[in-house]
């Protein structure tokens, strides 16, 4: 796989999908439906999904694609695949809070080696370049023209003054109990895979997730964090979080900057 080509294509598709999402976001009203698991879905999710899937299939006809919005892809068993969440943070989107993202990742042998996370309402764009280094791109985010980019890197944590980021929609007592094991200077809330990106840029040191997620929720942010020098491990045993698991379901996990003294559950 040509990683420069891969990066360029997933970046382009994410920006184009973001524009489709913002057309719906800025409209007067849109319908909210419920999926079989009772999670919400909108025309923005579906439109972005179709665009990304078609673009990936055209560019990479022989590579498997797993996407949240197409249940027929959830039985995929390939070792190498793209995994997509066309609109991560649908609840944030519905309530027009802005913390939603387009997530596209490329997984090889269980590891997300390339990824893009685009938050169109917040105008933040993060992705891995051809070398695997993660960057943030600034400007208007033109799908056909790369703007100014800056390499990003995790913090050097101070374990006596950590900055924690946690979910806006899923911050429960179990999460609070775990956070209380650390010496916390500040705590922030963010939606979608932006939490990984805040650790990747050094804006936070630690993101614990004590709750159910799927691989399409995490793979792109995981790739960005890896490319910024961070890591993601399982909550239970601190082993690396891997991809291609049965039904693409994640265990609880911890995303962090190396140097954080990880606490046990």
pLDDT number for residue 177: 93
Per-residue pLDDT tens over the stretch 80-109:
999 999 999 988 999 999 999 999 999 999
pLDDT number for residue 34: 81
Per-residue pLDDT tens over the stretch 173-222:
889 999 999 999 999 888 899 999 999 999 999 999 999 999 999 999 99
| pLDDT exceeds 70 at position 265 | yes
85 is in an annotated binding site: yes
Per-residue pLDDT tens over the stretch 3-19:
999 999 999 999 999 99
| pLDDT exceeds 80 at position 232 | yes
88 is in an annotated binding site: yes
Lowest average pLDDT, out of 19-23, 32-36, 196-200, goes to 32-36
Domains of the chain: 3-151 (3.30.540.10), 162-256 (3.40.190.80)
pLDDT number for residue 153: 98
Per-residue pLDDT tens over the stretch 122-157:
999 999 999 999 999 999 999 999 999 999 999 999
Q: Phi and psi dihedrals of 216, rounded to 5?
A: -70, -20
136 is in an annotated binding site: no
The more confident residue out of 9 and 41 is 9
The Cα–Cα gap between 241 and 214 comes to 12
68 is in an annotated binding site: yes
For residue 224, the Cα-to-chain-centroid distance in whole angstroms is 8
Q: How confident is the model at residue 169 (pLDDT cuts 50, 70, 90)?
A: low
Find the mean pLDDT for residues 163-180: 86
Q: Do the Cβ atoms of 121 and 22 come closer than 8 Å? A: yes
pTM of the model: 0.95
| pLDDT exceeds 70 at position 170 | no
87 is in an annotated binding site: yes
| pLDDT exceeds 80 at position 263 | yes
């Amino acid at each position: 796989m040509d990683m420069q080509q891969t990066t360029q294509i997933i970046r382009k598709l994410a920006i184009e999908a973001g524009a489709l999402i913002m057309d719906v976001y800025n409209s007067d009203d849109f319908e909210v439906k419920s999926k079989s698991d009772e999670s919400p879905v909108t025309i923005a999710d579906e439109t972005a999904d179709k665009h990304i899937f078609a673009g990936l299939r055209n560019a990479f006809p022989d590579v498997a694609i797993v996407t949240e919005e197409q249940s027929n892809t959830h039985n995929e068993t390939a070792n190498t695949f793209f995994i997509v969440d066309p609109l991560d943070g649908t609840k944030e989107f519905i309530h027009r809070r802005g913390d939603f993202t387009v997530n596209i990742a490329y997984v090889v042998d269980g590891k997300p080696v390339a990824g893009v996370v685009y938050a169109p309402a917040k105008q933040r764009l993060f992705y891995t370049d051809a070398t695997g280094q993660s960057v943030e791109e600034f400007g208007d985010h033109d799908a056909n023209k790369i703007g100014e980019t800056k390499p990003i890197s995790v913090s050097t944590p101070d374990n006596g003054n950590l900055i924690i980021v946690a979910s806006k929609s899923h911050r429960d007592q179990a999460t609070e109990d775990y956070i209380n094991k650390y010496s916390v200077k500040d705590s922030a809330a963010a939606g979608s895979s932006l939490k990984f990106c805040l650790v990747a840029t050094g804006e936070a040191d630690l993101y614990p997730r004590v709750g159910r997620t799927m691989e399409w929720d995490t793979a792109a942010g995981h790739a960005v964090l890896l490319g910024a020098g961070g890591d993601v491990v399982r909550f239970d045993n601190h082993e690396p979080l891997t991809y291609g698991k049965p039904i693409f379901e994640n265990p609880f996990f911890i995303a962090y900057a190396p140097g954080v003294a990880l606490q046990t559950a």
